[in-house]
Each structure stands twice: as C-alpha cells, then as structure tokens.
Amino acid sequence: MVFNTLHLNAFNRAHKSRTATTASPDLRRRCFRSVCKTLLLITILSVVPSLGSACGKKAIPTFTIFESGSDLAPKASGSADLTDDSGTVSGETGTQNRDLPANWFKPDESSYFPVVKVVDGDTVIVKISGQRRKLRLIGIDAPESVHNDPQQNTAEGAAASDFLRALLADREVRLEYDVGYLDQYGRDLCYLYLPDGTFVNEAIVRAGQAKLLTIPPNIKYADVLRQAQSSAQEDRLGIWGTE
C-alpha cells in the first residue's frame, strides 16, 4: 500500500513536470507576442499626433542658417540708413540679416511680406515670419536723406523717401534675389514687387527719384532699369528736372 502511494506520488510529480516543460514554450511565445503588440501600440500612439500636427500646420517662409557667419557679419557704417554698433537701423532693432534667405536664387512668387518701415529712397524693412529684415533695393541709388551727417542729406533725398513711402504704405511686397544676396552692411539685396505686379525698383527710377546703380554680379534687370532712367531723363522727372 505504501509502495503504491509512493509510486503514485512520483508519477504525479513527473507528469506535472512534463506538463510545465511542454507549456513553457507556448507561454514564452504568448508573452513575446503581447510585448510586441504593446510596443507597436506605443509607437502608433506617439507617431499619429505628430503627423496630424504636421499636416495641419500652415507652412511659413523660413530661413536656413548660413554656417559661415564670419562672412555675413555687417561692417561698420557711417550712415544712419545702415547699421550702428548695436545693429540698430534708424531706431529699429532685430534687423540684422545673418542667415541665407530660403528663396535665394529661386523667387517665391506666392509669398508677400508687410513693409514695416521705409528707411529712405532705396532701403526698406519688411517682416518675415515675425522677424524684421532690412532690404537694399538692387540697381538703384537714391539721394541721401537719413545720413548721420546732416550736410549729406538733401531735399531730393527726402522726396525719394516720401515717394517710396507713399508707394509702399500699408502694402506687402514680394522679394526676388539676384546672384549676390547680401551687401557689405548686412542688408539683403532685393528686387521688390507689389501684388499688382509693380516692379518697385523700376518705378522709383522711372519717377526720377533714384539713379541707376549697376554693381555686378547683380545685373539681372540692368537693361530694364537703364531704360527707366532714360525715360525719366527725357521727361525731366524728379532729380532730372533740377539738373
């Protein structure tokens, strides 16, 4: 009787051991699948919100940081229409252009930016993505009106500033770059356009408020501006009416 009981207990222990051994691979597989599903669910939950945010976010013009900042640092200037030691332009702050415009070499024909200030007859400040950016119009040279030396300022310069201010008041402009995009004072070199298609650089020259100033390699519209100046001279407009 005792022998049978011991034999039966040994049989039961052996059976349980074989059952546990047989079941452990299945258990491991179930645990592995459960872990994989959990990780997959976590990944999906983390990715979906970012995709939704990217799809719903409105694209805005940005600027790519230019690695070689030493070549872009504005040089000292003696004119108030450029920059002072603190980077201020006629009382405006945050207008130093240290990065490369996103649409350099490739005009963005759909983006227009508000003009926040007309500095003088050939320099303006626009706001792009919340930041002020000062622009020097390519191919033209207006008489001085905001120079640090008052003796350099002229009535013709004031008239040029007034003309450009009236042209751009409460307006937005589109920017177009040429080969060289930055001048020695850290200003963007640009051609400007109004939404109605007006070529601002040409309009100033055609009205006799600025002279032609061609500096290679930015000569894309040199012929257009030269013709505008010839027409202004013939009609004795602006500065040509006093010469």
The angle formed by the CA atoms of residues 209, 215 and 221, to the nearest 5 degrees, is: 65
What is the rounded distance in angstroms from the CA atom of residue 139 to the CA atom of residue 204?
Answer: 11
Give yes or no: 176 in active site: no
Give yes or no: 133 in active site: no
205: helix, strand or coil: helix
Q: Which of 133, 174, 187, 206 is catalytic?
A: 187
Q: Which of 144, 156, 176, 202 is catalytic?
A: 144
Q: Which of 136, 156, 174, 206 is catalytic?
A: 136
What is the rounded distance in angstroms from the CA atom of residue 182 to the CA atom of residue 128?
Answer: 16
What is the rounded distance in angstroms from the CA atom of residue 226 to the CA atom of residue 140?
Answer: 10
Give yes or no: 202 in active site: no
DSSP line for 91-147: TB-S----SEETTTTS--TT--EEEEEEEETTEEEEEETTEEEEEEETTEEPPPSSB
What is the rounded distance in angstroms from the CA atom of residue 142 to the CA atom of residue 159?
Answer: 10
Among all residues, which ones are annotated catalytic?
Answer: 136, 144, 187
